[in-house]
Structure 1
């Protein structure tokens, strides 16, 4: 595909603001107020984003508090993602765009060309996942989905997609490192032995950028690699896009009313 998109570097925000901004971009694009947008962002604090339909019972809320980890529910489906030391991206684009297939899987494939090129820019030979497990997991990085990136059989990124109001929203997590102890602390397991066994197995299933590159990467170097990856992989012309004061106020209102959460009072 090709075309002219906006590029938004929105910086680091709380979990509620990050998810509210993705929704606001979807709404504004649906209303014809903004062009297709590629957004890069980070998280002020470690944050767990839950899939839209994910069960609360899978999450250990006591340990969320222990790790001072924010949590938020995404517009998109899938399993929970721990956002910490990572680059996060999102895309909003009309379903009617001629470069967007009607099939969810094929749309993933098209947009993932930017992701795979971003990894290649860092010297990581990423490929598309092919041997997909049918086993469900509450933890996103435990198994790859269609057309997600793997290197040496290990999952590299977590991506999710939804379509609303005629607009496709896709966002994804590109970790520089993974805190496996914190990650597995945030979920409910039958006992500590099961948790420890799954955490050990996780190392064989997922990898982060700084496990795969000879030179340690930073948020900024990774952002540059994926900026060029999306630009070249999707043949895009990217033009800087910024939000007005009134747009930011709309985002903050949406964050407060739709995405701000208090930790539930529960025993786990």
Structure 2
């Protein structure tokens, strides 16, 4: 438990939702933190399967025909980095939202703080995971899991394998209206054909499996237990009460998803619509 635990936090173990709604909910959670003083930690899953592009990622790196053929939606995150393939089985995602004046102003210090419950969750799962001890060079820049491995925010396993450790989690932050939002992807299982196929590249699937590992491979637990463990670690970290989205938050998220995260101008060109005040 951290010093953040003396504030009001809610833990949301969320329903499975489409990618554009998941991204919209993060913006709504940021507004709630600022306006109502309620901070959020949550664990969530994606359906249909979704490729989330990094903020500055070129849409031409996507194999749009592959995604359409395989029922993979495409949205764009507010955070940078490469694209990540998500689905309701292979990926487990989380979000932490807190006012910026309550957390370290230094980016690396904030990563260290916000990744504490993630590393704790891996330990509880029996996965030998930690921040990467050494950098690894990029294999394919448009893919988050195949980019360079950065000791500041990339988590690898088994950590004891040093330079042979493989990526198991990517984490990213952004600041919006005096609030910090961190989200991340934990690899529960590997879907190399879809991870690689979603991009316009000729990479072999072995390239992905050589760089990436998973909770299932390293810890051998089932997905439901992994989700429960991550939720418990996040909740214990900030002493969060079990909670859920308010009706007005869900309504605002649906509107924002339809106006922004689910639209071609945002997904393909980063064109941001005007956002009315609540």
Name the TM tier (shorter chain): 0.7 to 0.9
* Corresponding residue number in structure 1 for 2:243: 241
CA contact (8 A) 2:43 2:230 kept: no
Paired residue for 1:156? 168
Q: Which has the higher helix share?
A: 2
Q: Contact conserved, 2:33 with 2:39, CA < 8 A, in 1?
A: yes
**Secondary structure of the residue that 2:15 maps to in structure 1?**
strand
Aligned residue in 1 for 2:275: none
Instruction: State yes or no: 1:200 paired with 2:206.
Output: yes
Contact 1:130 1:147 in 2 (8 A): no
TM-score by length of 1: 0.88
Q: Is 2:54–2:80's contact at 8 Å kept on the other side of the alignment?
A: yes
Q: Which residue of 1 aligns with 2:273?
A: none
> Can you give the 5+ residue segments of structure 2 that lack an aligned partner in the other structure?
159-164, 269-278
Structure 1, unpaired ranges of 5+: none
How far apart, CA to CA, are the structure 1 residues paired with 2:175 and 2:136? 25
Coordinate RMSD, CA, aligned: 1.7
Alignment correspondent of 1:257: 259
1:120-135 equivalent positions in 2, closer than 5 A: 120-133=123-136, 135=138
- Distance between the aligned counterparts of 1:103 and 1:121, measured in 2? 28
Instruction: Calculate the TM-score normalised by the size of structure 2.
Output: 0.85
Residues 1:147 and 2:161 aligned together: no
CA deviation after TM superposition for structure 1 residue 163, in Å = 0.6
The 3 A distance-change label for structure 1 pair 134 and 201 is closer
Instruction: Return the alpha-carbon distance in structure 2 between the equivalents of residues 91 and 161 of structure 1.
Output: 9
Deviation at 1:243, TM superposition (A): 2.2
1:88-113 CA distance string (max 9 Å, x none): 1001101111xx21111221111111
Partner of 2:211: helix, strand, or coil?
coil
**Structure 2 counterpart SS, 1:147:** coil
The offset of 1:186, in angstroms, is: 1.0
- Take 1:112 and 1:242, find their aligned partners in 2: how far apart are those partners? 22
Does the 8 Å CA contact 1:40/1:90 hold for their aligned counterparts? yes
Q: Deviations over 1:164-190 (max 9, x none)?
A: 11100001111211210111111112x
Partner secondary structure for residue 138 of structure 1: coil
Residue 21 of structure 2 corresponds to which residue in structure 1?
17
Residue 276 of structure 2 corresponds to which residue in structure 1? Answer: none
